[in-house]
Amino acid sequence: MTTNTVVDVHNLEKTYGKANERQYRALKGLNFTVAAGEFVGIMGASGSGKTTLLNMLSTLDVPTRGDVVVNGHDVTKMRGNQLADFRAQEVGFIFQDFNLLESLTAEENIGLPLALKGTSSRVMDQAIHEVAETLSIADLLPKYPSELSGGQKQRVAAARAIVHHPAILMGDEPTGALDSTSARDLLDLLTTINQKQKMSVLLVTHDPFSASFCQRILFIKDGQIGSEIKRGDQDRSAFYQQILNELGTFNE
Amino acid sequence: MLGKLALAGIKHRRRDYLVLLVGLTMSAAIFYMFANLATNQAFIKANAVVSQASLIFGFGAVLLILITIVYIMYANSFLLSMRQHDYGLFMMLGATRKRVGELVFLETLILGTLATAVGIVLGLAMSQFLVGLLLDSLGLHLAHLSAFYLPAIVVTGVLYVGLFILASLFNLVRLTRTTVLKLLHTDEQANQPVIHPFRQMVAAVFGVLFLAVGYWAMAAITDLEMTAIPLALVTITIGTYLLFRATILVIIQGLKKTRWAKKHLNGFLLGQLNFRVYNYTRMLTIVSLLFAMALGAITVGSGYHRQLPMMANSLGTYTIAVHNKTAQEQRLIDQLNVKHQATYTQKRQGKVVYYNAAELQRQPFELNKGTTEAKYATHPKYYTESLKQFKKGGSQSLDFLSLAIRSKQGFYAPQFLSARQFAKQPGKTVTVTTVRVKDLNQDRRILKRLNKLELSRFAQPAAMTVGNYQSYELMSGFFGGLEFMGYFLGIAFLAMLASCLMFKILSGAPGDQRRYQMLYKVGVRQKLMRTGIAKEIGILFLIPGIMGVIDVLFGLQMFKPLMQSPMSPYLGIGSIFAIFIGLYAIYYVITLTLYWRIVLPKAPTD
């Protein structure tokens, strides 16, 4: 592993069910890396193991075998508080269902990762307003999630995911619940975050349009990496076409 | 088909239903226990020698009915919140409103009737147990009291089933008027309370005013009589509600602006409280009332329990006097915790009783300042006099005279003779042993047997009491009913309080489960979540606790006319408060542990 690798997955396996029961192998020895500042997409059909993989990366689930190293931390060796602190400091999440706390305002939701670290309120205010400027959601700050549209909610969620400058931003179908305009806005936003803040982004999706914003795409099939394509210098619509072609042959 | 679906829905959430059912059953059981006392006219007439006692029962009944109504409303809204998603789904699948309405109506009614029936049976068992336990441990005899009392069963049944019919109708109307979409998505709707400074101020002022009127009414019970209790009840309820509503939100929103709110989960905690403040206001009001009722009732009950012996002790100097004690009586005396004991020889002739002066000099007769001076009434002061003084003073005291009762007309007149003269003096020789015990309550059982033996051997006029034990028995008959009611109601209200708070856990848990799952994903440490929940539930326990204690401190004024000097409703309340708060704290810990188990996300395992 070199210093500019953010995620290093080695021989990752996950088997559900106990040894004496009927077992299901969701991941069957996965290997891949994500370099610092990279925008990587992970695609695959339903049940291919995308979400399982993301849960392993984000320490919400424990692998059966193999290693996951994120920003120099071997997450498979962490326990209890280490896991919680890892999630709080090294990773930013965006979920399909937003996961905003409806009892807090947008501002309080965004500030949560900083509050957990014990950041002083002055620094916190500054960080919140900075990120709100970047994502142009400053006017949403005093509102509660119930007063926001889906797209606005997801922007707030994105702000919460990056406010503490994590090593990597992970998205689990973040556009899944959004209309096409909001989805496009959010993807542009992720690209901006990736380029301006040099933050690595890992996007799990089954939507080719979302995937076309990535620089590199890994296709998972039956718990293994089936193929990999790179965007290189081509523009987004050409890459989109390439993804569609790849999906066409991949799923055969 | 729809019936089958509904049943499947219930099966799916059987744990929630079980708790709902248990809560309602408990409520019905407690109500039965109360109704058993309140509707038993024979019991009230036989035991409530003081006119206010029946008043207190009336007050208790009204209050319990009100609390029951609120309680059932609570339970009903919980039931509705559990079911409305399913009902919405049925309608979306094409069930007619009429059919779903029938389902709702039947479901509520069946659940309610079931809870009522089980509750009455449970109430019978609990009454049996509690009546037995209390009467035994308090050493009271209450006439006409039994666990099974038909009118009480009827009252409980009619009230509960009636309330459930109302609740069913309410659910019916509510469901058939709400749109399907709203039913499906009620979980996600949020209400954010807004502060209106002026309205808030007005509410606070009125709240304090209402409370003041309520507290005043309780203190002025001798003047207001019948009106005092309902007046206090209404004003204190409204006052508490307004005060909570005015202040809690302001405090939360004020705290939100501080730096403290931006540390760790404090902001989330405040958000949680803010989010549910209006639901909480109602619950906190009810819980604070129940807390006050339970604490107040137990304080009064234990006040009588502790103070009756004290009162008895202030009336005389010895606990019991035994004449010509037998071997059996001696054995009983040996079992007592004796503080002071003396034996005198009497010779009775004509209208005179002769004492041996030497004997009295050797062991002077003990006197009690408490019988004559008010300031020693609560802490008796025992003293003796020289024989010369005693002949003029102490020998004329009722305590000493009572050692030789002649007939209904009076006592033998005491005379003191020298040892030689006393030996020559003819007359019937009687020895009398006076015993003063350390703690009347503690030795109650042995004293009772001694007293019985003594009375069977020497028939004394009924109006004459010899020793403090007899005064104690007399007063127990007088105030025992109140003592019993205090303990009984205290325990009943405490149980009600417990089940009321339980609904808070239930109704809040599903939403919180989701929220803590989110926090878990975002990387909040387990310990932080634990302390966060501990704080939130702690606040819900603390606020009604404080309000309840204040209510009780004022409310005890009501019992001043019933506990006249040297008794006082405020005497020795510290230890009772401590015990009660200890119980409350234990209940807090149980609630908290339960909540942790329901809400905290489990860490993944391989």
The DSSP code sequence of B507-573 is HHHHHHHHHHHHHHHHT--HHHHHHHHHHHHHHHHHHHHHHHHHHHHHHGGGGTTTS-TT--TTTTH
**Bigger pLDDT: B178 vs B159:** B159
The pLDDT value recorded for residue B142 is: 65
What average pLDDT does the structure give for chain A? 84
Size of chain B, expressed as the number of residues it contains: 606
**Torsions phi, psi for B588 (to 5 deg):** -60, -45
Mean pLDDT of B535-554: 88
Report residue B504 as tokens.
């808070």
| Closest alpha carbon within chain A to B526 | A81
Q: Give kind and range of the element (H or E) at residue A122.
A: helix A121-134
Nearest to B252 by CA among B278, B274, B283, B276: B274
Residues of B in contact with A99 (CB under 8 A): 518, 521-522
The pLDDT value recorded for residue B575 is: 84
User: CA–CA separation, B22 vs B227, rounded Å?
Assistant: 36
pLDDT tens-place string over residues B451-506: 888 888 776 654 455 788 888 877 777 677 777 777 877 877 887 787 777 766 66
Å between B257 CA and nearest CA of chain A: 11
Mean pLDDT of A98-126: 85
pLDDT tens-place string over residues B65-111: 877 887 787 778 777 777 777 777 777 777 777 787 888 788 888 88
pLDDT at residue A12 tops 80:
yes
Among the partner residues B262, B264, B518, nearest to A101 by beta-carbon distance:
B518
pLDDT at residue B231 tops 60:
yes
Q: Does B199 contact chain A (CB < 8 Å)?
A: no
Least confident of A76-80, A114-118, B474-478: B474-478
Residues of B in contact with A97 (CB under 8 A): none
Report residue A65 as tokens.
């075998």
Residues of B in contact with A103 (CB under 8 A): 190, 268, 271-272, 274-275, 515
As a dihedral over the C-alpha atoms of residue B590, residue B594, residue B600, residue B606, rounded to 10 degrees, the angle is 110
The pLDDT value recorded for residue A196 is: 84
Strand-by-strand arrangement of the A216-221 sheet: A91-94, A168-172, A200-205, A39-43, A216-221, A224-230
Instruction: Choose, out of A23, A59, A103, the residue to mutate when testing the contact with B (most B CBs < 10 Å).
Output: A103
**Bigger pLDDT: A245 vs B117:** B117
pLDDT tens-place string over residues B260-306: 777 778 888 888 888 777 777 877 888 888 888 888 888 888 887 77
Provide the ipTM.
Answer: 0.84
Among the partner residues B263, B266, B526, nearest to A84 by beta-carbon distance:
B526
Place of tokens 């309602």: B24
Size of chain A, expressed as the number of residues it contains: 252
Q: Which residues, other chains included, contact A210 with Cβ-Cβ below 8 Å and sequence gap of 6+? A: A41, A174, A175, A183, A187, A203
Could you tell me if B63 and B293 are in contact, meaning their C-beta atoms sit under 8 angstroms apart? yes
Could you tell me if B90 and B100 are in contact, meaning their C-beta atoms sit under 8 angstroms apart? yes
The pLDDT value recorded for residue B210 is: 92
pLDDT at residue B52 tops 60:
no
Highest-pLDDT range among A25-29, A243-247, B241-245, B368-372: B241-245
Å between B526 CA and nearest CA of chain A: 7
The pLDDT value recorded for residue A251 is: 61
The pLDDT value recorded for residue B53 is: 59
Mean pLDDT of B209-213: 91
Residues of B in contact with A60 (CB under 8 A): 521, 604
The pLDDT value recorded for residue B208 is: 92
Chain A positions with Cβ closer than 8 Å to B:
58, 60-62, 64, 80-81, 83-89, 91, 93, 95, 99-105, 108, 111-113, 115-116, 118-121, 124, 144-146, 160
Q: Which residues, other chains included, contact A169 with Cβ-Cβ below 8 Å and sequence gap of 6+? A: A91, A92, A93, A94, A161, A162, A190, A193, A194, A199, A200, A201, A202
What average pLDDT does the structure give for chain B? 80
The pLDDT value recorded for residue A1 is: 43
Task: Return the percentage of chain B with pLDDT > 90, whole number.
Answer: 3
Contact yes or no for B263 and A62 at CB 8 A? no
Mean pLDDT of B233-254: 86
Contact yes or no for A118 and B263 at CB 8 A? yes
Mean pLDDT of A35-47: 86
Mean pLDDT of B355-384: 81
The pLDDT value recorded for residue B121 is: 92
**Bigger pLDDT: B344 vs B561:** B344
Hey, what long-range contacts does B135-139 have (CB within 8 A, 24 or more apart)? B135/B484, B138/B305, B138/B480, B138/B483, B138/B484, B138/B487, B139/B444, B139/B445, B139/B448, B139/B476
pLDDT at residue A14 tops 80:
yes
Mean pLDDT of A196-216: 87
The pLDDT value recorded for residue B606 is: 52
Contact yes or no for A87 and B523 at CB 8 A? yes
| Closest alpha carbon within chain A to B274 | A103
The pLDDT value recorded for residue A2 is: 47
Q: Does B188 contact chain A (CB < 8 Å)?
A: yes
The pLDDT value recorded for residue B409 is: 67
Could you tell me if A103 and B275 are in contact, meaning their C-beta atoms sit under 8 angstroms apart? yes
Place of tokens 């012996």: B309
pLDDT at residue B221 tops 80:
no
CA within 13 Å, CB half, B188? 14
Q: Report the 10 Å Cβ neighbour count for B347.
A: 19
Residues of A in contact with B520 (CB under 8 A): 84
Confidence of residue B600 (pLDDT cuts 50, 70, 90): confident
pLDDT at residue B185 tops 70:
no
User: CA–CA separation, B29 vs B132, rounded Å?
Assistant: 17
